[in-house]
Chain A
Amino acid sequence: MDRENDGINKNLVELSTFLVGNALCGMDILKIQEINKLIDMTTVPQAPSYVLGILNLRGQIITSIDLSKKLGLGETNMSEDPRNIIVNSKGEHIGLLVKKISDVVQADTSKFEPPPSNMGGIQGEFFTGVYKTKDKLIGILDVDKVLKLEETQK
């Protein structure tokens, strides 16, 4: 959290952007532990459908989530070389599977705009805001909200 505050103080953050479905999403790069393409997963029968399985990241067990499915955009095609973004959410490491990793974008937090109600098929509530670059629109993903357990999803 401290790091995030630093970023806000300077008003400048680096956003790591990636594709979920066709929507370009981004999150503060400091929230990301690493990005890898580990896909040797152990499936967990009876798990929620958006959980792809669990994987071993250097001795730590990490739940891998299909971000696209979690956001209601259908399954990520595993043959398209998807990537795992390992984030730390509420004290636990979670892998978010995304279709493609895109650029790192420098963004000014003061220029973030409130999110639209829907962006590329994703509910606006999962975004904290949007950021416009010259040619792109980046939805700033609220990871904690995405990963919040909903009673109905059980």
Chain B
Amino acid sequence: MQIEDDEILQGFIEESLEHLADIENDLLAIEEDGANIDEDLVNKVFRAAHSIKGGAGFMGLTVIQDLSHVMENVLGLIRSSKLVPTPEIINVLLQASDKLNTMIEDVSNSNNYTIEEHVVPLNAIYDGDFTQPAAKEEPAPVAEIVTTEPPVVETISAPEVVETVPVPVPEPDPEPAPEPEPVVVAEPTPKPVVQAPLKKQSPPVKKAAAKVKVDSSIRVHVSLLDSLMTLAGELVLSRNQLLQTISSGDTQNAESVGQRIDLITSELQEAIMLTRMQPIGNVFGKFPRVVRDLSAKLNKTIDLTIVGKDVELDKTIIESINDPLTHLVRNSVDHGIESPAERTKVGKPAKGLVILKAYHAAGQVVIEISDDGKGLDGEVLAEAAINKGLITPEQAQLMSDKEKVNLILLPGFSTAKEVTDVSGRGVGMDVVKTNLDQLGGQVDIISEVGRGTTIRIKLPLTLAIIPCQIIMTGGERYAIPQVNLEELLRIPAGQVKDRIERVGNAEVVRLRGNLLPLIRLADVLGIKRTYFDQEEDKFRDDRRERICDRRGKETALDPEEEAILRAQELAASKDSDRSLDDRRYTASSALNIVVVSNGSLKYGLIVDKLQDSEEIVIKPLGKHLQACKGYAGATIMGDGRIALILDVANIAIMAELTSIDGSDRASEVAQAAEDLVKAQKDKQALLTFRSSEQEQFAVPLNQVERIEKIKRSDIEELGGKRVMQYRGGSLSLLAVDDVAMVQPIADQDDLLVIVFNIASQLVGLLAIGPIDAMQISVSIDDVTLKQPGIMGSTIIEGQTTMLVDIFEVVGALFPEWFEDNEVYEAADDGGVVPTILIAEDSKFFMNQVKSYMTDSGYDVIGGEDGAIAWELLQQHGDEISVVVTDIEMPNMNGFELTETIRKDARFSKIPIIALTTLAGEEDVAKGKAAGVDEYHIKLDKEKLMASVHHYVKQLH
């Protein structure tokens, strides 16, 4: 077959493939509608088949023409409502369209294909004597379609080619296989065996060539091209202006021309990017079919919901996410969703649900594949990983559930069959991850046993231009992709000592209560350590061995040496040269840390200097630099010099830091972090301040509204009360010593006012500095120093600190404020006092909460942990009106307690209020899921009591 006009053929191929892509989904929709035919839809499919037929006829592609003709016949019947589209009929049509697809992709050989297997049933349908012959042959090839793209074509073409044999090569064909003919004719028995491999070899080669052709062109809207043209025109004009300006030496004009060019370039860049953008629906579109076929094969019923088809991504990314996505969707259908019987057994609807979702978030595109199947069991995965020697049991112990679930992405984790049997998941998940890594994407798995799994993929919008943070180390610039950037951290010279610690051999930084491992970029790259001297604006050598040297807790100096140092410092303060050298007290001693992450791995990179963030164009490095794993490429900066782009994941590997690798460092850091998290859980955020110089006080930070600096002269004493003008009104002022027996407020000119909001009125507590906000673990002594206005004491950084009970202080001074507050009147309710059950392991908080309750007239029963509280609840059952529970408790924590209570029919309605020190959003969500009615922060008396009142009232 000679195809004269290559362009026309190419156009036909593209158009037909587009039609076919639509046909598939449309057929599925027609199937769903059944007898209620959507005429438009059928018409559309009909027209598509018709135009393929027409085009093929014109090109002389007779086989394609014939097949589309019979398809058209059947569709015509459906259109005229003479035929009800049953799943069997749709199946035949789908297979026929698959075949069309194969033939069109391999267009030059298309006339050699045999279409009997499709034409016969289609004609049978048309003639009205269709008896579902497809039933047995159908599942096999269809299932394979789903696996991966290229092999599919082969598997499908293979059996057909075998059948071609009797009708060998009808036309002068470019196919260079003349010999098989005589062989085949001579020996009819081994026919299929001989023929299949021989013929199979040649088509794929051509197919590959054809495929490249198809992929290398793209459809762009004319309006977009128009705007590109306009921009190009503008660019030419600006260039002329620029040349003119340069020759005339007009600097003023040069600036405006520069701006113009800047504007045009960025617009041009955007417009060109748009031409590469494709809707993700191009990929999503094939999944209804995948899910349909696969679920039918597995005897499951599954709904697929697709959200966000219109989200656009770069063409190259769209092409490369196809395989990983297919894999993940298959996984969800195959292993995630249980069989209908299993589902009904556990109380789920028999029909499973797979959701495919794409959306924009933070300059990236997020794709989520979620199912409501059985979920992943982190424990099982961890066990499997231990058995495979990928992690040690100790490491597994330190891992959070989420980390365990993410183990599935480890290379070498799965591939083996037994894992599939154990966990039900994990065939080649690491391959998926590798694929996505190459695209600069990130994978995250969220799974709950029994509830389902969500796999979240974050992808950059495009690979060509990426926003990067520019940093400097050793006098060279480097770029860190913004995708990996978590935050920038600058630790001032004064805090380095406190925040940087050594755990074994590793340096870590305290960041919001977590320990973050640190890596020095200079060390990883093996270059000289330098630091940036701000005063002299240049880089200098850094001689410190460790960041925390002579500062860190582990390397405390002996007193003698310290004395010498002190003396030196004294001398230094006189000698200005000396003090310049001593970096400890200059700003250049501050540490610049770039907190980066890659999946579950997160660490801090110490760099000399932070610069701007810039949009850069990635350029590859030459082959001689391929061995340098630390770089993802290079880019050219505005000044023409080159900056290397850092590969965050590989730098961690080079520094022997991996989240789950066996190095001591990782486990030590993990251990330390774990310890800290444990200690963290019952922590209280406090604001420390002083009233007199000698005594330190603290109040819970969450009660504080604001802190104001005032002068003593701002205070006015009127009617025996101290007030100050504040935001257009008067603010009542009080001091701790007004109520408690403590030393009077210091007599100094600069004072602080800590503003509280109590009983919906603002009140100011006079104080002096230094003030500090900190988190400490709660070990509060509520005996020794307890007195009116002081709820107890604790030790903060070696200093005994009194905790001020601001409610008590205000209550003592302004009792009238609380008069409106509800107190439960026993008389209201026939003398029955409502009882509140409190579960709280900290004695201090227990006492506090108890006192709030008893003050308001309730009876209180307290249990030291969830288990005890649960027993108490069972004993006292009916008496208890409200349960107030802590979250972190031994034996049975607040969530477990809540779940236990909710499961019991007797108590399912009882209000449960959870108290927490740190109300993280995750916790709140978890609590809500467990059945907590309301969340309150510990020691926030007003809100807690308000909601207790509310619930008690509701009950009665």
**Do A92 and B627 touch (CB < 8 A)?**
no
CA distance A67 to B720 in the complex (A): 91
**Do A61 and B642 touch (CB < 8 A)?**
yes
CA distance A63 to B527 in the complex (A): 19
**Do A63 and B622 touch (CB < 8 A)?**
yes
CA distance A45 to B636 in the complex (A): 17
Instruction: Name which residue of chain B comes closest to A46, CB basis.
Output: B628
Given A42-B641, A45-B525, A46-B525; A62-B627 close (CB under 8 Å): no
Residues of chain B in range 690-738 having any CB-CB distance to chain A below 8 Å: none
Residues of chain A in range 57-86 having any CB-CB distance to chain B below 8 Å: 59-63, 65
* Stretch of A10-18, A26-34, A47-55, A106-114 lying at the B interface: A47-55
CB distance from B370 to the nearest CB of A (A): 41
Given A61-B621, A61-B622, A61-B642; A46-B630 close (CB under 8 Å): yes
Most buried by A among B526, B621, B622: B622
CB distance from B471 to the nearest CB of A (A): 14
CB distance from A103 to the nearest CB of B (A): 29
**Do B624 and A61 touch (CB < 8 A)?**
no
B619 part of interface (Cβ distance < 8 Å): yes
Residues on A with C-beta less than 8 A from B644 are 42, 44, 54
**Do B641 and A40 touch (CB < 8 A)?**
yes
Chain B 605-639 per-residue mask, 1 if CB under 8 angstroms from chain A, else 0: 00000000000000111111111101100101000
Residues on B with C-beta less than 8 A from A44 are 621, 625, 628, 631, 644
B476 part of interface (Cβ distance < 8 Å): yes
**Do A56 and B642 touch (CB < 8 A)?**
yes
CA distance A41 to B636 in the complex (A): 12
B559 part of interface (Cβ distance < 8 Å): no
A36 part of interface (Cβ distance < 8 Å): no
Chain B 922-951 per-residue mask, 1 if CB under 8 angstroms from chain A, else 0: 000000000000000000000000000000
Instruction: Name which residue of chain A comes closest to B654, CB basis.
Output: A46
**Do A61 and B634 touch (CB < 8 A)?**
yes
**Do A94 and B624 touch (CB < 8 A)?**
yes
CB distance from B617 to the nearest CB of A (A): 9
**Do B474 and A47 touch (CB < 8 A)?**
no
Residues on A with C-beta less than 8 A from B624 are 47-48, 51, 63, 65, 94, 147, 149
B640 part of interface (Cβ distance < 8 Å): yes
Given A40-B641, A47-B624; A54-B630 close (CB under 8 Å): no
Residues on A with C-beta less than 8 A from B623 are 90, 92, 149
Residues on A with C-beta less than 8 A from B642 are 42, 54-56, 61
Instruction: Name which residue of chain A comes closest to B525, CB basis.
Output: A45
CB distance from A69 to the nearest CB of B (A): 12
CB distance from A53 to the nearest CB of B (A): 8
Interface residue from A40, A42, A47 paired with B476 (Cβ < 8 Å): A42
CB distance from B738 to the nearest CB of A (A): 64
CA distance A114 to B619 in the complex (A): 40
Residues on B with C-beta less than 8 A from A118 are none
A154 part of interface (Cβ distance < 8 Å): yes
CB distance from B678 to the nearest CB of A (A): 39
**Do B640 and A47 touch (CB < 8 A)?**
no
B643 part of interface (Cβ distance < 8 Å): yes
**Do A56 and B627 touch (CB < 8 A)?**
no
CA distance A42 to B633 in the complex (A): 13
CA distance A106 to B621 in the complex (A): 35
Interface residue from B527, B625, B640 paired with A51 (Cβ < 8 Å): B625
**Do B641 and A56 touch (CB < 8 A)?**
yes
**Do B622 and A62 touch (CB < 8 A)?**
yes
CA distance A42 to B474 in the complex (A): 12
CA distance A40 to B625 in the complex (A): 18
A43 part of interface (Cβ distance < 8 Å): yes
**Do A61 and B627 touch (CB < 8 A)?**
no
Given A56-B640, A56-B641, A56-B642; A43-B476 close (CB under 8 Å): yes
CA distance A60 to B619 in the complex (A): 8
**Do B621 and A154 touch (CB < 8 A)?**
no
Q: How large is the interface on B (under 10, 10 to 19, 20 to 34, 35 or more residues)?
A: 20 to 34
CB distance from A84 to the nearest CB of B (A): 14
CB distance from B550 to the nearest CB of A (A): 28
Residues on A with C-beta less than 8 A from B631 are 44
Residues on A with C-beta less than 8 A from B628 are 44-47
CA distance A62 to B640 in the complex (A): 13
Chain B 233-261 per-residue mask, 1 if CB under 8 angstroms from chain A, else 0: 00000000000000000000000000000
CA distance A60 to B635 in the complex (A): 9
**Do A63 and B636 touch (CB < 8 A)?**
no
Residues on A with C-beta less than 8 A from B622 are 54, 61-63, 92-94
CB distance from B83 to the nearest CB of A (A): 58
Instruction: Name which residue of chain B comes closest to A148, CB basis.
Output: B623
Interface residue from B474, B527, B625 paired with A54 (Cβ < 8 Å): B625
CA distance A44 to B642 in the complex (A): 10
**Do A45 and B526 touch (CB < 8 A)?**
yes
CB distance from B204 to the nearest CB of A (A): 26
CA distance A65 to B640 in the complex (A): 20
Residues on B with C-beta less than 8 A from A46 are 525-526, 628, 630
CA distance A34 to B531 in the complex (A): 39
CB distance from A102 to the nearest CB of B (A): 26
Chain A 90-103 per-residue mask, 1 if CB under 8 angstroms from chain B, else 0: 10111000000000
Residues on B with C-beta less than 8 A from A59 are 636
**Do B526 and A47 touch (CB < 8 A)?**
no
Residues of chain A in range 130-154 having any CB-CB distance to chain B below 8 Å: 147, 149, 154
Interface residue from B619, B620, B625 paired with A47 (Cβ < 8 Å): B625
Instruction: Name which residue of chain B comes closest to A92, CB basis.
Output: B622
**Do B641 and A154 touch (CB < 8 A)?**
no
Chain B 630-667 per-residue mask, 1 if CB under 8 angstroms from chain A, else 0: 11001010001111100000000000000000000000
Residues on B with C-beta less than 8 A from A94 are 622, 624
CA distance A60 to B525 in the complex (A): 24
Most buried by A among B525, B526, B624, B640: B624
Residues on A with C-beta less than 8 A from B626 are 149
**Do A63 and B625 touch (CB < 8 A)?**
yes
Instruction: Name which residue of chain B comes closest to A63, CB basis.
Output: B622
CA distance A29 to B628 in the complex (A): 32
Instruction: Name which residue of chain B comes closest to A48, CB basis.
Output: B624
CA distance A47 to B626 in the complex (A): 9
CA distance A48 to B636 in the complex (A): 22
Residues on B with C-beta less than 8 A from A60 are 619
CA distance A154 to B631 in the complex (A): 15
Instruction: Name which residue of chain B comes closest to A41, CB basis.
Output: B642
**Do A45 and B621 touch (CB < 8 A)?**
no
Instruction: Name which residue of chain B comes closest to A154, CB basis.
Output: B627
Residues on B with C-beta less than 8 A from A92 are 622-623
**Do B527 and A45 touch (CB < 8 A)?**
yes
**Do B525 and A61 touch (CB < 8 A)?**
no
Residues of chain B in range 465-516 having any CB-CB distance to chain A below 8 Å: 474, 476
CA distance A81 to B620 in the complex (A): 28
Residues on B with C-beta less than 8 A from A65 are 624
CA distance A94 to B643 in the complex (A): 18
Q: Top 3 nearest A-B pairs by Cβ distance? A: A63-B622, A45-B525, A42-B642
* 24 residue pairs from A and B, CB less than 8 Å apart: A42-B644, A44-B625, A44-B628, A44-B631, A45-B527, A45-B628, A45-B630, A46-B630, A47-B624, A48-B624, A54-B625, A54-B634, A54-B642, A56-B641, A56-B642, A61-B621, A61-B642, A63-B624, A63-B625, A90-B623, A92-B623, A94-B622, A94-B624, A149-B624
Residue positions of B touching A, CB distance < 8 A: 474, 476, 525-527, 619-628, 630-631, 634, 636, 640-644
User: What 20 new A-B contacts, CB under 8 Å, besides A45-B474, A63-B625, A149-B623?
Assistant: A40-B640, A42-B634, A42-B642, A42-B643, A42-B644, A43-B476, A44-B621, A44-B625, A45-B628, A46-B630, A47-B624, A47-B627, A47-B628, A48-B627, A51-B624, A54-B642, A60-B619, A62-B622, A63-B624, A147-B624
